[in-house]
Chains A and B, each alone.
Chain A
Amino acid sequence: MSIDKAIIAKYIDNSDVHLNDETHLEFYMSQHLRMNGLYWTVISKQMIDQEIDDSQKVELIAWIKECHDDKTGAFSPYPGHDCHILSTLSAIQLLIIFNDIEYLTEKVFPKVFQYIKSIQLDNGAFKGDTFTEELDTRYSYNSLHILYYIKKYSPNLFEQNELYKVVENGLSYLKRCFNYDGGFGLKPQRESHGAHVWTSFASFAIWDEIDNYFNKQELEDLKWWLSERQNVDGGLNGRPCKLSDCCYSWWCLASLKLINYSKHFKHNKIDCLECIDLNKLKQFIVQCQDEVNGGISDRPGNVVDIFHTCFGLTGMSLIEEILDEQKFKRIDPRFCMLKDIIGSH
């Protein structure tokens, strides 16, 4: 049993058509996350080596730019919707994938830094937009991830110190979301949750700051918490005593992978991923595949979607790297972007 690339490709194309069909209800119900949806679609395509042709690329780039707010530098999830940091990161990632770096350095980065500063609170936490007070480690991740690209592609745009101040403050806050059980919650004091573990911990990895914020015991606790996410069906859950869900094959696995970045684990004989049964997890992901119509679902037998397809495939890629198999493209556990792309620019 394995993931059938051809049938996955068919599913991605179908779902793409479906989501852009104005006669379908899904077209309206998913507008608020269309930019993220496009990112999940493109990553899924890349994972299985499916090319996006040039004419399609031109069309997509034009659409992304339609979502760009020239005043703030941020992006909305759909033309006419309000800007949000979630859609802003996805849009920037897509422009990097499509290699429109010039637009980013000229039109986006000079303004979006100000936007990011405007949604950061004094205590380092990030709001999701300029409209609400909602705080979430996801928004910290989005902001800190974008700052990485600003530093990378426009190193002279801002004073280094100014940028690092935002990063440092952001990371200190995320450390407060770290729990006694080894996980991270949505805010300080909140229960640990697999998705928040990744958004929090990956932020430290992006800025190469893991060892400045975590001692060995804390990382051991994190490794323990993450390894306990595997259920007997082989899948991973997001919290103790919950059912498995395919998307945690990314959130939890990528987080485990990132522990290897620490000096305390770098030289270990075995990769941190191997503290769970990777073959059983692989089997679980394969079981989530719709064998007739393609796509991957949260659990075997459930309705598939592009979100779970994306994170099932990226999780699979991390597993294959360890098992030394070569079916899927390699993915960077910090960014959820192809290693080829992160490394090549």
Chain B
Amino acid sequence: MHGVKRINLTEELRAEKEKKEAIQVDRFRNLSSTIEKLKTGKDTNQDLLKSLSEQLTMNPDLTTSYNLRRSIIKDKGYIEDEWNQELNFTLQLLTSNPKSYPLWQHRSWILKQIDKDEYYQKELNLTYKLLSMDKRNFHGWSYRREILDILNERLSLTSIEDLYFKEWEYLTMMINSDISNYSAWHQRRTLLVYYIESTQLTKIPEGTLKKLITKECDYIYQAIFTDAEDQSVWNYMKWFVSDERVLSILGNEELNTAVDKYLEAMREINEDELEFSNKLNKWCTLMMLFLTENYSKEITKVEKIDLLESLKKSDPLRINRYQEMIDKIE
């Protein structure tokens, strides 16, 4: 059980809870025996589907019940209205159970059976809604990625460009509203890689791509000033400056300029923080070490060790790790 508070129930409340549960137990048992009976009967599909809906509403993780449900649907053959009902049914369940693996799986199966572009496009709205309730929902993000990949296979090039442009806007909006949304930064990275890798396939002119990436350099710069405590943007930056694909578009000189600019910003943030809290900023410091190391910027052994010693103070949980890094230098 995740995130449910431990409480001591009074006798009265306990009795009430037990009474409620007993009703549910009865219901579940009745449903199960009805389903067993119907399974062997003739012309029972409609009733079976109804009982299965009720059972899955009580427990949306019952893999076996989905399996049965799918085999009935396949036998029966659904018309569009019925598919829409099936989508509504799962939508209702997802709203209260957004972390159920088999439920997401069932949704994904329905879409595959319907097999229509416009339905896939509508799914992006669904994840949009669910992700606005829980910005980090792992399932929601994974499903969104899946839908984008499927649409990528199905749509024409111009529609894909439009789709990905909108996705880029969406991610910018998500990040702007919460800079610590690591999931959104992650998705942004996969999208950027997609852009770079598909320039040969799509008609995205190279100039446009370069503009996009140059803009991204600045976006990162703004982000580190927004919340220097947060690891999301730093991880993204670490990837951005070390990815060969980014480098191939941006060119050595421009990337180098960007790195200098970042280092400048980090020194600034660190100075402020030193003044404010007498400690260096952890992520700034780690990234300074990373950048100076990988871009052969000037830094002395002593300076490096000083930075690592300071990390021991600002991040005492990982003291051994920093010591290990110091040992390597010495």
Contact = CB atoms under 8 A, between A and B. Distances in A.
Nearest to A138: B101
Contacts of A1: none
B301 interface: no
A187 interface: yes
Interface string A29-73: 101110000000000000000000000000000000000000000
B39 to A, nearest CB: 11
Nearest to A130: B67
B145 A189 contact: yes
Nearest to A81: B64
Nearest to A241: B180
Contacts of A280: 317
B324 to A, nearest CB: 7
Main secondary structure, interface of B, reads: helix
Contacts of B195: none
A298 B3 contact: yes
A277 B319 contact: yes
Contact of B1 (A179, A242, A297): A297
Contacts of B108: 133-134
A191 B1 contact: no
A269 to B, nearest CB: 8
A180 interface: yes
A133 B189 contact: no
A302 B183 contact: no
Given A132-B105, A191-B183, A302-B3, A181 B59 contact: no
A28 B29 contact: yes
B67 A133 contact: no
B59 A32 contact: yes
Given A240-B235, A245-B2, A270 B25 contact: no
B316 A277 contact: yes
B231 A191 contact: no
Interface stretch (B122-130, B134-142, B214-222): B134-142
Contacts of A299: 3
A33 B102 CA distance: 12
A181 B239 contact: yes
Nearest to A239: B182
Interface stretch (A117-125, A146-154, A227-235): A227-235
Contacts of A308: 1
A176 interface: no
B320 A274 contact: yes
A24 interface: yes
A24 B25 contact: yes
Nearest to B68: A82
B183 A132 contact: no
B22 A180 contact: no
Interface string A130-149: 01111010000000000000
B62 interface: yes
A29 B27 CA distance: 12
A190 B136 contact: no
A227 B286 CA distance: 14
A302 B66 CA distance: 31
A81 B32 CA distance: 12
B232 to A, nearest CB: 6
B324 A132 contact: no
Nearest to B20: A25
Given A81-B64, A240-B231, A241-B231, A298 B138 contact: no
Q: What are the nearest 7 A-B pairs in CB distance?
A: A275-B321, A25-B21, A303-B4, A240-B182, A191-B186, A81-B64, A82-B64
25 contacts: A24-B25, A29-B59, A80-B64, A131-B67, A132-B105, A133-B105, A133-B109, A180-B243, A181-B238, A189-B190, A191-B138, A191-B187, A227-B321, A232-B317, A240-B231, A241-B181, A241-B231, A245-B2, A270-B324, A275-B321, A276-B321, A290-B6, A301-B6, A304-B6, A305-B1
Interface of B: 1-6, 21-22, 24-25, 28-29, 32, 58-59, 61-64, 66-67, 70, 101-102, 105, 108-109, 112, 136, 138, 141-142, 145, 149, 180-183, 186-187, 189-190, 230-232, 235, 238-239, 243, 316-321, 324, 327
Interface of A: 22-25, 27-29, 31-33, 76, 80-82, 84, 129, 131-134, 136, 179-181, 185-187, 189-193, 227-228, 230, 232, 234, 239-242, 245, 268-270, 274-277, 280, 290, 297-299, 301-305, 308
